[in-house]
Structure 1
Amino acid sequence: MRFLLFLLAVLLILGGAAAWRLAAFNQFAAIEPVTLARCQPVRGIAGPEDIEIDAKRRLAFISSLDRRADGARGAIHLFDLNDPLAETAWRDRTGGVPADFRPLGISYYEDGETRRLFVVNEAGPSIELYSVEEDGDLAHLETFAERRILSPNSVAAAGPRRFYVSNDLRPGRNSPLAGFHFLTASDLGEIFYVDGPQWSVVADKLRFANGLALSPDGSKLYAAESAAKRVKVFERNSANGKLTLAETIPLDAAPDNLSFDGQGALWVAALPKPLLLPRLKRNAEATAPSEVLRVAPDGAVSTVYRDGGEQQSAATVAARLGGKLLIGALYERKFLYCDLPAASE
């Protein structure tokens, strides 16, 4: 009898702990929509997980991969905001290099005539570096790989051969215990700084290290901690890449990719119910809610868009240029091209 009572107590404790963690990830919460007046779906691009803006030329680089298709090769597309109907948006810009290519996070860098695109390649795992040609095509320059990087997620360019990369879980997000690590918010994430051949860990103990973005002046690095539902802000030493934690921005959803606009506001694509994400790979009919947050230069956080998953399922990136907002998602076959209200511009 005592054993049965003990077993019951253990089960109750475990059940309570599980319910508490599920509640922490909004699993039981209702989704209150926040709409934008006009959002047009741009179809035909599989899995637009990340989007980077070339503001000068009004171009958007899009990381694309059909993650439900075994052995599929990904692509980098180029969407022209000056000519949204241009057929060239559906052409892969990488020239087929490398052959084994599963792109995730991307980062655009420009300094004078030097234009670069850094791409996280899950297939390596590695970071691929491309030169951006005048016509928008990508010429492969270099592959960066490091044995400690099992699960690269996002990249933030800091120079023509310098960058930060997040390693979301040291054991890898495809490891057998990855789901458990996320649910328990294990602090197994890291950020590496790479300067040519030199790799160094500049931040660790992150709870699923995800999106990265440098502030427009390059003085700070913003890092999404998906399992902790927050963004960490680090002061950055530009000479050696070292980071010092400056502040933490709490959120009500799990942040994914981050991007800055020309006015210094941070745009955050977030998952209100991140535990629904794994089922999207198994079931093309399944959906998960999406959210887009704007962090103003003064730190104020506002919700610009929230959807139950009907219009855009499980958004992973929001990138703004002027009065337009592009919203991409890991498992969709489209991204949204939205008009922003004047207050957000």
Structure 2
Amino acid sequence: MSGARPAAGPAPLRLSERIVYPESPRWRDGELWFSDVHDYAVKRVTADGFVHTVVRVPSRPAGLGFLPDGRLLIAGALDRCLWTWDGDTLALVADLSDMTRGLLNDMVVDGAGRAFVGDTGFNLMAGEQPRPGQVILAVEDPGTRAFRARVVTRDVVFPNGAAVSPDGRAYWVAETAAHRVSRFRVTADGDLVARRTVAELPDMPDGLCLDETGALWVALLRRGEFRRVGADGTTTDIVSADGRLAVACTLGGHDRRTLYLCSAATTMADLARGVSSGLIHTMTAASGAGWP
């Protein structure tokens, strides 16, 4: 992390605070969408900070992504299923419980509509013994709208935030319990191969996003900071969450230069009971690239 420094420019601006625990932020149609995990709902926030509840998700929403036809794809953590929301109906589209070892976690949907879903491998909050997780690929057949799913890489240590490059050929994932970010090559069939470590980090990485230079913004959960990590693994910028958990981040806005920072005032013990006060801040950064 040689050369790391606080990010230059004004301090992040508070966008909204009427949230419990914001995860998986996604920019869409002029608003920021996110899973308010411990309020069991998908929500969106407008440019003036007003929070709307989009849909209640009884199985606890985790990763989000938008399919090519505009439907929202939602990973249900507890039932280990994929759901879609078309603006009117919450519909079950894939039951991944038979192939999931832990809980469904964060997810990224690329430009071709391929959903890469993290399976944690174990239930952390339930006190289960750690074991390796995996990444599941789910793809919808455009004719039948049936989803096909299969495991595309194993032995990922608590897969969490993820990103896909603009050309769809590279995939990054935060391995939370291993304190690292890994990169894979994506084959034409969607397999994840040629794994390598991008960055070893001093704390648990949670959500992440990619910018136009190939650098990643990574939320370091318990350390309470957001780091910009270059393609060589070097930390170039640090933004403090001011004593809160640093949960997730994404780049959006009309030019994708607005960095949305999701954090929560809570402890791990309180979070296990669903007690949390979430916030979203914004700041200007290099333009986003790829997905999300």
What residue is the counterpart of 1:340 in the other structure? 284
Partner Cα distance (2:148, 2:11) in 1: 46
Partner Cα distance (2:5, 2:234) in 1: 20
Correspondence 1:192 to 2:136: yes
**In the TM superposition, what whole-angstrom CA distance separates every residue of 1:290-342 from its partner, at most 9, and x where no partner exists?**
11122345654323313451xxx111101223443221135543323233378
Does the CA-based 8 Å contact 2:163-2:171 persist in structure 1?
Answer: yes
Seen in structure 2, the aligned counterparts of structure 1 residues 201 and 53 have a Cα distance that, compared at 3 Å, is same
SS at match of 1:234: strand
Deviation for aligned residue 1:138: 6.0
Deviation for aligned residue 1:39: 2.8
Deviation for aligned residue 1:270: 1.3
Which protein is richer in strand relative to its size?
2
Partner Cα distance (1:342, 1:189) in 2: 32
Seen in structure 2, the aligned counterparts of structure 1 residues 267 and 102 have a Cα distance that, compared at 3 Å, is same
Deviation for aligned residue 1:258: 1.8
Deviation for aligned residue 1:229: 1.1
Partner Cα distance (1:260, 1:138) in 2: 31
SS at match of 1:93: strand
Seen in structure 2, the aligned counterparts of structure 1 residues 130 and 323 have a Cα distance that, compared at 3 Å, is same
Q: What aligned pairs does 1:68-147 form with structure 2 within 5 A after superposition?
A: 74-81=40-47, 84-85=48-49, 89-94=50-55, 96=56, 100-109=58-67, 111=68, 114-131=69-86, 137=87, 139-146=89-96, 147=98
What residue is the counterpart of 2:105 in the other structure? 153
Does the CA-based 8 Å contact 1:323-1:340 persist in structure 2?
Answer: yes
Percent identity, aligned pairs only, is 21
What residue is the counterpart of 2:119 in the other structure? 167
Partner Cα distance (1:323, 1:201) in 2: 34
Partner Cα distance (2:285, 2:260) in 1: 14
Does the CA-based 8 Å contact 1:93-1:138 persist in structure 2?
Answer: no
Which protein is richer in helix relative to its size?
1
Partner Cα distance (1:341, 1:219) in 2: 24
Calculate the TM-score normalised by the size of structure 2.
Answer: 0.77
Instruction: Answer with 250-259 or 317-326: which moved more.
Output: 317-326
Seen in structure 2, the aligned counterparts of structure 1 residues 268 and 204 have a Cα distance that, compared at 3 Å, is same
What residue is the counterpart of 1:314 in the other structure? 245
Deviation for aligned residue 1:219: 0.9
Seen in structure 2, the aligned counterparts of structure 1 residues 144 and 244 have a Cα distance that, compared at 3 Å, is same
Q: Please tell me the residue identity of whatever aligns with 2:139.
A: D
Q: How many residues align?
A: 261
SS at match of 2:167: coil
Q: Please tell me the residue identity of whatever aligns with 1:203.
A: T
Q: Please tell me the residue identity of whatever aligns with 1:145.
A: D
Partner Cα distance (1:315, 1:108) in 2: 24
What residue is the counterpart of 2:270 in the other structure? none
**In the TM superposition, what whole-angstrom CA distance separates every residue of 1:14-37 from its partner, at most 9, and x where no partner exists?**
xxxxxxxxxxxxxxxxxx994763
What residue is the counterpart of 1:37 in the other structure? 10
What residue is the counterpart of 1:61 in the other structure? 33
SS at match of 2:177: helix
Seen in structure 2, the aligned counterparts of structure 1 residues 163 and 307 have a Cα distance that, compared at 3 Å, is closer
Partner Cα distance (2:46, 2:211) in 1: 17
Seen in structure 2, the aligned counterparts of structure 1 residues 53 and 260 have a Cα distance that, compared at 3 Å, is farther
Correspondence 1:50 to 2:1: no
Q: Please tell me the residue identity of whatever aligns with 2:238.
A: V
Partner Cα distance (2:286, 2:66) in 1: 27
Which structure 1 residue ranges, 5 or more long, are not aligned? 1-31, 68-72, 132-136, 274-288
Partner Cα distance (1:156, 1:252) in 2: 24
Deviation for aligned residue 1:104: 1.8
Which structure 2 residue ranges, 5 or more long, are not aligned? 141-146, 267-275
Given candidates 182, 190, 194, the residue that maps to 1:241 is 190
Correspondence 1:293 to 2:267: no
Give the structure with higher Rg (CA): 1
SS at match of 1:227: helix
Q: Please tell me the residue identity of whatever aligns with 1:316.
A: V
**In the TM superposition, what whole-angstrom CA distance separates every residue of 1:174-224 from its partner, at most 9, and x where no partner exists?**
44334xx2xxxx5x1111112244322211112222222211221111111
Q: Please tell me the residue identity of whatever aligns with 2:161.
A: G
Q: What is the RMSD of the two structures over their aligned residues, measured on CA atoms?
A: 3.0
Q: What aligned pairs does 1:225-264 form with structure 2 within 5 A after superposition?
A: 225-238=175-188, 240-249=189-198, 250-261=200-211, 264=214
Given candidates 184, 201, 217, the residue that maps to 2:151 is 201
Partner Cα distance (1:342, 1:64) in 2: 26
Partner Cα distance (2:242, 2:70) in 1: 38
